[in-house]
Structure 1
Amino acid sequence: MQLTRCLSTSKPCARSVSRKLLIVRAQLDSPAVGSKVERWLKTPFDILAFGPRAGAGALLSAPERLQTLQSDFEKALELLQDPRPIEEKQTVLLKEVEETLVGFLEKGATVESDVLANVKTLLPPEAANLLNEFIPEPPNKQPDVVPVEAVDAAPQPPVTYYQADVMANQVASEMTEIKKAVSGLKTALDAVRQNTEVANTNILRLNLREARDQLARRVAEVSASTESDPSIAAATREAKILLEEVDSSFFAS
């Protein structure tokens, strides 16, 4: 019966198939809901620190969240009116909530690392090492691949963390998030510009708005202590130019 309908109405069927392929491709390209939060629940300390990290990050993000309240409300209305199935819209909403929660956790962990680094500089090396063993690095500071140490490698001196180390880590983390958001917005922008199916227009524009808001959040989250760094300043400048281009072309009031 499905084949008969496709043969009798080729254009609507083609649009339906194209839309379904677009949805499936998006689901395959994006990680499962919850995978980003799961990284923050690996160790017993992560579980104990989950609430305080998220709470501290939420407090730090409160001014920025108030500024984006209107755009968040508009995005929620667009999602409500979107023709996609309710299951897919629920997934989009859950991913948005997950992104927000992970952002809070990252900010809270940065404050935590900063405080611990200052404490360690005041402690004897033995006490600092003991603190390192008890409190692992937060998930956003841990490498994805753990290097294998040589069997005959000479013992390494104990590592002492200073304010400069924390600053370098924070700059690297913020650079990674900005570059990832810029890449996501460029991909969404190309998809809108190359789209030839009218049925996909609303979905692609919603994806573009989500990517645009994601980059705007990353730019707003740059801390005052790192915004003067040359690499952060250059990345922020590129991001703002891209945001202005998207706003003027698609979201001008």
Structure 2
Amino acid sequence: MQLSARPCAVAVAKSGRRMLVVRAQSLDTGASVGAKVERWLKTPFDVLAFGPRAGAGALLSVPERLQTLQQDVEKAIELLQDPRPLEEKQAVVLKEVEETLVSFLEKGATVESDVLANVKTLLPPEAATLINDLIPEPPNKQPDVVPVEPVDVQPVQPPVTYYQADVLSNQVASEMTEIKKAVSGLKAALDAVRANTDVANTNILRLNLREARDQLARRLAEISPSTESDPSISAATREARILLEEVDSSFFA
């Protein structure tokens, strides 16, 4: 694999007055090393703040790096003993450097944002707005653009409209149910009276018959003028009146 050397990242670690600058070179592989760092060099302010951000992040990372120092050394030894070509091992090193540098930048930018937020609380609103215009949000605070998915709009169902014919049909059905129930009750009471052979039950059975008879009469009186001409209502009414006449002539004449 042929190397194509170009500067892609600058890692800055500052301790006291000493500053270590490591220049990394990327390989012409499928994914270029350095893309993560390029996000931190978009604006002139990002270029000016690159060193301070990385330095602050490095100082904050010292305790963490000390804890993982032994693991880092072991990883470096394993990489040296790795039988892969030098180009591939160099790419691995560059990737590690880049990820470490980006972590420094993110931590430094977080400190920077906190300091600026505290400063803005002490300034007039106009000055705070001016700072917002001059200092852009760091890359790790800029919102990612989320594609807007199309909303599946369901068609609005038209409201249910009840027409006069529907109302009349429901009323006919309701009245037919009440008439049939009253007719059935009167027939049951009539059969009970006719089948009775115990004189002691005669009065109670005749009382039940009268109540059933009055119930059917009320149902017929409650028929609406708008439904009495319906063929089914007319037939049920005719049958009910014949039954009432039979009961009246036999028991209540």
TM-score band by shorter chain is: 0.3 to 0.5
Name whichever structure is richer in helix by fraction: 1
TM-score, normalization: structure 2? 0.45
Name whichever structure is richer in strand by fraction: 2
